[in-house]
């Protein structure tokens, strides 16, 4: 069996939304990645630990309950601290409460160190296409 | 059929048990001082002489032994992330009956390599990376351990992709390097059985001889395993039963010694409440933990620090200072036995603290998340709330008139409800001190061992579980 590129997937913080998480796992593994799915209620530390142990190339963070900004802040710093500072970070879901302009949200999360920030309603295909591009750019075979 | 002799070469005493496997009875038990520094057979012969005084001369069909003499099986575990492969490696070592001297993680430094050398382990377990996961760290650590300056047997159980390279690096300076399947093949998937088997085979092949236990070979047919592994095996058998003899179901075993408290649980430990999701590394169904700071003699001072004197004093209904003084006294004189009802009471309270802290650290717990939709819970470790039977063993429990008071420490505490301890267990006492012997017997007569444990480990005192 060829070693596939591994990505870490999980729903961050005190968030229990499990349905989208399963759909993403299915879609991303069908696209040829090995998905290490941490499920729901995942702490930042667990994302980082999992990425170290499995040598994953990206961490895909979901947040659906509106507290995304609090939960996601600092993940990039933790990655730096743990020696995997250059790992790809993606984030998506309902990142903030209410009808905030998405451009502002995107800027905020980009500033936190996330390479890709997705608006509500983004389809898995878009994420997969980005993953493939980003991996190719970094020289990983997908 | 001639009886079977089961020997436990302990750190202090060599304990022997003669069993008639036809009538399924204990013919007699005896003990002698463990004489591992001179000739281990001296202490064994002393015990045999005492045994024959009870039973008359016996001729044995089979003699099986286990050992925790000469420091037991001392191990160092090395992994990558502390909560992941390092923890998995530690559990594999504990499950094999080892005393874990240290757990090391991430890339080892020169200082840590010096520390490992100073610990003088009997075996090192080297893990790191899931299969296909991180390779650099285990390769780095193999290179560092190759410069240990000691010839220590090493079990490699990490990322399969680099196992051959790791073995090659280590073999340059080490004479015994073996490998097993990864202790964590995929993230959060525990696979400790193959590594455990390897540890056990090295123990039998090398350690028994290195510790001078092979001198017993003319009397012992098979030195089977380290003593804690024998107790774990016995617990597993009495819980799950054998092919032809049903077991008792989920159990917890509390073994309080002079230096450590060992807790064993045989239970899957899945959540018993709804809306609880499991988190973290899965636990082995047969789990052993060892607390080096909880003990009745060598660790009495450490116990008082860990459990805190006021708590122990409250249980014993004495002054705080009494506890501190008594702990200091017995730590200085490890042969000391309680001389008065008051001292007896202090012993019970100390043992209860060993039980309570030991089980608190062993058992799983709930973390509460306050979500916009109310509380959600995630469970880390085993839920033991439904465990019905708790077995007590070890000197202080067996020799005490009120073992149920000591075991009271295992019970679920309403003021600390996140720790998932047994809610309403029944207590049984290993009065004849046969658990290690039954683990050995179970190697060759599993049905007999299960039936004998059900017969000899008794008590069934339900009234002891007040809330």
* pLDDT tens-digit profile, chain B (467 residues): 899 999 999 888 899 999 999 999 999 999 998 887 788 888 999 999 999 999 999 999 999 999 988 778 999 999 999 999 999 999 999 999 999 999 999 999 999 999 999 999 999 999 999 998 999 999 999 999 999 999 999 999 999 999 999 999 999 999 999 999 999 999 989 999 999 999 999 998 888 887 778 887 778 888 889 999 999 999 999 999 999 999 999 999 999 998 899 999 999 999 998 888 888 888 999 999 999 899 999 999 999 999 999 999 999 999 999 999 999 999 999 889 999 999 999 999 999 999 999 999 999 999 988 877 778 888 999 999 999 999 999 889 998 888 999 999 999 999 999 999 999 999 999 999 999 999 999 999 999 999 999 999 988 554 443 33
**H or E segment to which residue B92 belongs:** helix B85-95
B119-157 burial: b if 16+ Cβ within 10 Å, else e: eebbbbbbbbbbbbbbbebbbebbebbbebeeebbbbbb
Instruction: Determine, for residues A36 and B187 on separate chains, whether the beta-carbon distance falls below 8 Å.
Output: yes
Alpha carbon of B193 to those of A127, B198, B224, B428: distances in Å?
A: 39, 9, 17, 29
CA distances from B267 to B286, B383, B426, B459 (A): 7, 9, 16, 21
What is the value of pTM for the model shown? Answer: 0.88
The residue among B319 and A100 whose pLDDT is bigger is B319
Residues of B in contact with A14 (CB under 8 A): 369-371, 376
Q: Is A52 on the interface with B (CB under 8 A)?
A: yes
Out of B80, B369, B372, whose CB is closest to A41? Answer: B369
Q: Measure the CA–CA gap between B199 and B74, rounded to whole angstroms.
A: 11
> Is B269 within 8 Å of B382 (Cβ atoms)?
yes
A33-74 residue pLDDT tens: 999 999 999 999 999 999 999 999 999 999 998 889 999 999
Task: Give, as one character, the DSSP assignment of residue B415.
Answer: T
Spell out which residues of chain A touch residue B161, defining contact as CB-CB under 8 Å. Answer: 3
- Residues of chain A in contact with residue B84, where contact means CB-CB under 8 angstroms, are 49-50, 53
CA distance B418 to chain A (A): 17
pLDDT attached to residue B72:
85
In angstroms, the CA B128 to CA A32 distance is 25
pLDDT of residue B375: 83
Contact B134 A54 (CB under 8 A): yes
With an 8 Å Cβ cutoff, are B187 and A53 in contact? yes
Contact B132 A54 (CB under 8 A): yes
Of B83, B370, B372, the CB nearest to A49: B83
Q: Which strand (E) or helix (H) includes residue B15?
A: strand B13-20
With H, G, I as helix, E, B as strand and everything else as coil, classify residue A115: coil
Distances (CA, A) of B272 to B367, B409, B413, B414: 15, 21, 17, 16
CB B68 within 8 A of CB B9: yes
pLDDT at B128: 96
Residue B168 makes CB contacts below 8 A (sequence gap 6+) with none
B266 token code pair: 């045989």
Put simply, the answer to whether B129 touches A55 (Cβ < 8 Å) is yes
User: In this complex, is the C-beta atom of A39 within 8 Å of any C-beta atom belonging to chain B?
Assistant: yes
Decide if A36 touches B, using CB distance below 8 A. yes
User: Per the CB < 8 Å rule, is A54 touching B133?
Assistant: yes
User: In whole angstroms, what is the distance from residue B265 CA to residue B289 CA?
Assistant: 9
Active site residues of A: 15, 17
Distance from CA of A107 to the nearest CA of B (A): 26
Which of B133, B370, B371 is nearest residue A53 as measured by Cβ atoms?
A: B133
Within an 8 Å CB–CB cutoff, is residue A22 touching chain B? Answer: no
Nearest Cα of chain B lies from the Cα of A6 at a distance, in angstroms, of: 8
Give the whole-angstrom CA distance, residue B463 versus residue A65: 48
Distance (Å, whole) CA B287 – CA B264: 6
**Residue B257 neighbours by CB distance under 10 Å:** 23
Q: Could you write out the DSSP letters of every residue in A1-16?
A: -PPPPEEEEEEBSS--
Token digits of residue A6: 């591994």
Q: How far apart are CA B335 and CA B195, in angstroms?
A: 37
Query: Does B278 contact A at CB distance below 8 Å?
Result: no
DSSP lists the bridge partners of residue B162 as: none
User: In whole angstroms, what is the distance from residue B8 CA to residue B257 CA?
Assistant: 15
> Closest Cα partner for A31 from A134, A112, A129, A137?
A129
- Is there a contact between B113 and B76 (Cβ–Cβ < 8 Å)? no
In B224-243, the residues whose Cβ lies within 8 Å of chain A are none
Chain B from 138 to 167: CB within 8 A of any A CB: 161
Q: What is the pLDDT of residue B465?
A: 39
Does A14 sit within 8 Å of B187, measured CB to CB? no
Closest CA to B190 of B100, B72, B79, B277: B79
| Number of other residues whose CB lies within 10 A of the CB of residue A19 | 8
Q: Does A55 contact chain B (CB < 8 Å)?
A: yes
Residues A52, B161: C-beta atoms closer than 8 Å: no
Q: What are the angstrom distances between the C-alpha of B399 and each of A6, B300, B327? A: 56, 18, 19
pLDDT at residue B467, as a whole number: 35
> Could you identify the residue written with the tokens 């073995």?
B167
Please spell the DSSP secondary structure of B97-163, one letter per residue.
T-EEEEEE-SSPPHHHHHHHHHH--SEEEE--S-TTS--HHHHHHHHHHTTSSS---EEE-S-GGGH
Q: Distance, in angstroms, between A141 CA and closest chain B CA?
A: 15
Contact B80 A55 (CB under 8 A): no
Relative to beta strand B123-126, strand B74-78 is: parallel
> Residues B139, B133: contact at Cβ < 8 Å?
no
Asked if A96 is an interface residue toward chain B (Cβ–Cβ < 8 A), one would say no
Do residue B81 and residue A15 have CB atoms under 8 angstroms apart?
no
Question: Is residue B344 packed enough to be buried (19+ CB in 10 Å), middle (13-18) or exposed (0-12)?
Answer: middle
- Strand spans (E) along B343-415: 365-371, 374-380, 389-393
Q: Which residues contact B246 (CB under 8 A, 6 or more apart)?
A: none
DSSP state of B280: S
**Is B373 at the interface with chain A, CB within 8 A?**
yes
Per-residue model confidence (pLDDT) at position B460: 54
Provide the shortest C-alpha distance from residue B116 to chain A (in Å): 23
Q: Which among A6, A41, A67 has CB closest to B378?
A: A41
pLDDT at B204: 85
* Maximum Cα–Cα distance across chain A: 46
CA distance B286 to B265: 6
Instruction: Show which of residues 33-92 on chain B sit within 8 Å of chain A, judged by CB atoms.
Output: 80-81, 83-85
Alpha carbon of B30 to those of A72, B9, B378: distances in Å? 63, 12, 48
E-only strand ranges, B281-399: 286-291, 365-371, 374-380, 389-393
Distance from CA of A88 to the nearest CA of B (A): 16
> Which residues partner with B459 through β-bridges?
B428
Q: Looking at residue B461, what is its pLDDT?
A: 54
Look up tokens 């089980």; give the residue. Answer: B359
* CA-wise closest residue to A62 among A81, A41, A79, A80: A41
């Amino acid at each position: 069996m060829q070693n596939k590129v591994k990505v870490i997937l999980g729903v961050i913080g005190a968030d229990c939304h499990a349905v989208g998480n399963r759909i993403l796992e299915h879609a991303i593994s069908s696209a040829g990645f090995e998905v290490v799915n941490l499920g729901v209620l995942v702490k930042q530390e667990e994302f980082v630990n999992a990425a170290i142990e499995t040598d994953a190339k990206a961490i895909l963070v979901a947040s659906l309950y509106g507290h995304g900004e609090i939960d996601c802040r600092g993940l990039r710093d933790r990655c730096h601290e743990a020696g995997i500072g250059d790992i790809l970070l993606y984030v998506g879901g309902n990142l903030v409460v209410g009808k905030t302009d998405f451009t502002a949200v995107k800027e905020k999360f980009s500033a936190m160190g996330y390479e890709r920030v997705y608006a509500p309603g983004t389809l898995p295909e878009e994420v997969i296409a980005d993953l493939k591009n980003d991996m190719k750019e970094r020289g990983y075979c997908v | 059929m001639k009886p079977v002799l089961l020997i436990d070469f302990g750190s202090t005493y060599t304990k022997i048990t003669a069993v008639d496997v036809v009538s399924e009875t204990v013919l007699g038990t005896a003990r002698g001082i463990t004489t591992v520094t001179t000739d281990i057979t001296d202490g064994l012969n002393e015990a045999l002489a005492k045994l024959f005084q009870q039973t008359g001369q016996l001729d044995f069909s089979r003699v099986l032994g286990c050992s925790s003499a000469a420091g037991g099986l001392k191990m160092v575990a090395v992994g990558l992330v502390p909560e992941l492969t390092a923890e998995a490696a530690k559990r594999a070592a504990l499950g094999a009956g080892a005393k874990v001297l240290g757990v090391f993680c991430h890339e080892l430094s020169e200082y840590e390599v010096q520390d490992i050398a100073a610990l003088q382990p009997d075996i090192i377990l080297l893990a790191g990376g899931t299969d296909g996961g991180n390779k650099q760290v285990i390769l780095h650590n193999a290179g560092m351990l190759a410069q240990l300056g000691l010839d220590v047997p090493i079990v490699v159980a990490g990322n399969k992709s680099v196992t051959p390279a790791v073995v090659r690096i280590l073999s340059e300076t080490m004479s015994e390097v073996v490998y097993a399947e990864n202790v964590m093949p995929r993230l959060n998937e525990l696979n400790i059985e193959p590594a455990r088997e390897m540890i056990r085979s090295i123990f039998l092949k090398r350690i028994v001889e290195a510790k001078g236990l092979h001198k017993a070979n003319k009397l012992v047919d098979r030195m089977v395993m380290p003593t804690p592994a024998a107790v774990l095996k016995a617990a597993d058998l009495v819980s799950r039963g054998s092919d032809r003899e049903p077991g008792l179901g989920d159990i917890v075993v509390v073994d309080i010694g002079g230096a450590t408290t060992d807790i064993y649980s045989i239970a899957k430990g899945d959540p018993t409440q709804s809306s609880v999701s499991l988190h973290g590394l899965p636990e082995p169904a047969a789990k052993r933990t060892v607390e080096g700071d909880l003990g009745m003699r060598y660790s009495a001072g450490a116990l008082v620090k860990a459990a805190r004197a006021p708590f122990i004093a409250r249980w014993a209904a004495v002054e705080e200072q009494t506890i501190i003084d008594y702990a200091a006294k017995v730590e200085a004189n490890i042969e000391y036995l309680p001389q008065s009802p008051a001292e007896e009471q202090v012993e019970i309270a100390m043992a209860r603290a060993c039980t309570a802290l030991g089980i608190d650290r062993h058992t799983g717990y709930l973390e509460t998340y306050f979500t916009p939709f109310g509380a959600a819970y995630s469970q880390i470790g085993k839920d033991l709330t439904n465990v019905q039977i708790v077995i007590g063993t070890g000197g202080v429990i067996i020799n005490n008139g009120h073992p149920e008071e000591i075991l009271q420490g295992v019970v679920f505490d309403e003021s600390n409800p996140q720790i998932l301890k047994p809610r309403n267990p029944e207590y049984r006492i290993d009065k004849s001190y046969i658990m290690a012997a039954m683990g050995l017997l179970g190697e060759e007569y599993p049905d007999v061992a299960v039936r004998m444990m059900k017969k000899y480990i008794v008590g069934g005192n339900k009234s002891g579980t007040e809330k």
